[in-house]
Structure 1
Amino acid sequence: MTGTFRVAKAIIAREFLRFVHQRERFIAALVRPLVWLLIFAAGFRAALGLSIIPPYQTYITYETYIVPGLCAMVLLFNGMQSSLSLVYDREMGSMRLLLTSPFPRWWLLICRLFGATIISVLQVYTFLAIAAAFGITMPAWGYLAVLPSLILGGLMLGGLGLVLSSFIKQLENFAGVMNFVIFPMFFMSSALYPLWKMAESSPLLRDICALNPFTYAVELIRFSLYLQINWTALAWVTGSTLVFCALAIWGYDPARGLMKRKT
């Protein structure tokens, strides 16, 4: 048990050291949501009317509405970025050395996933602090209540990134696939506009968005910030996390998975 937790500590510490030495990664993770919050929201505010829907008890500004979606955006991009670095490690050989250690492969992957999730959560809180500095605030206790939702959402999106990295063999291919996954997931969700608004123009698109796991990560964060639990979102995110993690573990299993020829 001591060795198991020691390797977990080492993997998580390695993720932190990599993040510290990649300052541009931290800045990029904040620039994307801040552009939406401070620039795009100014134009969309007049174009999109929002009715009073749970968890809100009164009318809110568009900037307030999109904050949970932008928090999920940070989790999504960082989860994919972490998986991109995993593909890089595999090409350089360091990942291969890690996976040949005597510890269970599933434990090594889960530890790496937790390390990436912790970094994602820290980035989200940095974004929330900047948003608060611009006057876009949430209930005080909501900043604490949202922590479990951020962790669960980060694990789900990081698990999805692990699944993709197990399929993709070359670093050059991963960037294209990453964009192909990120942008549809983000735009076909409730991150930027409520689903009822989307149903006014396309019921079919609304139904597709309702099947998007990212939508439920957004809603789980949204309700948690207002000290409420969206049980449907919680079930979807939990189930998706388990499925993605199981697929990632299978994909990195040399006996049955997609890594057979690599390791």
Structure 2
Amino acid sequence: MTPAPSHQVHLLRAARAIVGREVGKFLRQPARLASALVRPLLWLIVFAAGFHNVFGVAIIPPYETYIEYKVYMVPGLLGMIALFNGMQSSLSLVYDREMGMMRLLLTAPLPRGWLLAFKLLAGSALSLLQMLVFLLIAGLLGVEFKPLQLLATLPVLLLAAALLAALGLMLSVHVRQLENFAGAMNFVIFPMFFISPALYPLWKLEEAGAQTLHLLALVNPFSHAVEAIRFALCGQVNGVSLLVLAGGTALCFVLALRGYDPQRGWMRQRGAN
């Protein structure tokens, strides 16, 4: 008689099914990768040229010399890719809930936390894949990176992707219908992206007297995602930003887990679909 599969085997099968489904669907849609890269590449090619002499970048950590504006932009554009993909993953969750796939997933004989963790892993993997392709294209466009520093950046890229995927997971709890998703995305994405050091150093805001915006940028988790990537690409470690990324990922995941719990979360308050 064949013994029953162990709990670890069940987890591996569930991870392969959930992550494999998302990655496989993405790989079967090359237009999705192209559309995901159009936006950051447009910023890198057009805005870097147009604003080259507008945004002067002082010698600030982690930089030890003056740099080209396109070099400064790359960490912010990597964060942009992860941010938009995190919201796209949120859209996928809302769609699955409306189509009934989420109900089937959450009734699987595995703890709800593991199922959502695999969803988070799938979203993070897709973000990492897109960021790596962008780095390859950026290198072809003349943005130079040291190979060893790129390897050291991979865990930071994955952690930043996990934070933004967890944010999307939490957001999917609140967005009940696909029709409301575009407004929710704009409300989250654009403030997080523009009130951050993605396109300009934060001292520019302070120098301009925009103290409120400067304070918001300092507490913006996306700012820490960008800064962690920026330091990693220079072979340095920003400990504060890494702690914010890890803590923010854990917090967003716990809130999402509570939201998807029909006994305690928002799904009970609003009625599960």
TM-score (norm 2): 0.94
Find the aligned partners of 1:253 and 1:76 in 2 and give their Cα distance.
Answer: 25
> Who is 2:42 aligned against?
35
> Who is 2:146 aligned against?
139
Report Cα offsets for 1:162-190 as digits up to 9, x if no partner: 11101111011112101110011000000
Find the aligned partners of 1:106 and 1:114 in 2 and give their Cα distance.
Answer: 12
- Amino acid aligned to 2:244: W
Shift in Å at residue 5 of structure 1?
1.4
Matched, 1:259 2:228: no
Q: 1:12 aligns with which of 9, 19, 35?
A: 19
> Who is 2:78 aligned against?
71
> Who is 2:159 aligned against?
152
Find the aligned partners of 2:76 and 2:159 in 1 and give their Cα distance.
Answer: 15
| Aligned sequence identity (%) | 53
> Who is 2:205 aligned against?
198
Tell which structure's C-alpha radius of gyration is larger: 2
Matched, 1:241 2:273: no
SS in 2 for 1:164: helix
Pairwise CA RMSD: 1.0
SS in 2 for 1:241: helix
Shift in Å at residue 226 of structure 1?
1.1
Find the aligned partners of 2:43 and 2:170 in 1 and give their Cα distance.
Answer: 28
Matched, 1:46 2:56: no
Shift in Å at residue 218 of structure 1?
0.3
Find the aligned partners of 1:255 and 1:44 in 2 and give their Cα distance.
Answer: 52
Matched, 1:213 2:207: no
Shift in Å at residue 23 of structure 1?
2.5
> Who is 1:182 aligned against?
189
Within a 5 Å distance, the mapping from 1:68-147 to structure 2 comes to: 68-147=75-154
Unaligned ranges ≥5, structure 1: none
Equivalent residue pairs, number = 263
SS in 2 for 1:259: helix
> Does the 8 Å CA contact 1:84/1:175 hold for their aligned counterparts?
no
- Amino acid aligned to 1:60: I
TM-score (norm 1): 0.98
> Who is 2:32 aligned against?
25
Find the aligned partners of 2:59 and 2:145 in 1 and give their Cα distance.
Answer: 16
